Amino acid sequence: MNEPSDGEDALVQKAQDGDESAFMILVEKYREKILGTASRFGRDPEEVRDLAQEIFVEVWKGLSGYNGRAPFEHWLSRVATNRCMRFLRRHHRRRAVEVIGTENPSGDGRDRNEQLADEAGPRQRDAAEAREVLAVALQRLSPKDALVVTLREVEGRSIAEVARDTGWSEGTVKVRAHRARKRLREILEEMGET
Which residues contact other proteins (rule: CB under 8 A)? Answer: 20, 23-24, 27-28, 31, 35-36, 38-40, 42, 44-46, 48-49, 52-53, 56-57, 60-61, 113, 117, 122-124, 126-131, 133-134, 137, 153-154, 181, 184-185, 188-189, 193-194
Nearer to other proteins, 32 or 170 (CB): 32
Least spacing, CB of residue 69 vs other proteins, in Å: 25
132: helix, strand or coil: helix
Specify the long-range contacts of residues 64-68, CB closer than 8 Å, at least 24 apart.
Answer: 64/16, 66/12, 66/16, 68/9, 68/12
Closer Cβ to other proteins, 27 or 159, answer by number:
27
Report the alpha-carbon distance of residue 105 to residue 101 in Å, rounded: 6
**Closest to 114 (Cα-Cα) out of 43, 164, 16:** 43
The residue among 24 and 74 lying less far from other proteins, judged by its C-beta, is 24
Nearest to 135 by CA among 175, 193, 83, 81: 193
Residue 27's identity, in one-letter code, is V
Nearest-angstrom CA–CA distance, 186 and 122: 27
Sign of CA dihedral 7, 11, 16, 18: positive
Nearest CA to 73 out of 11, 119, 127 is that of 11
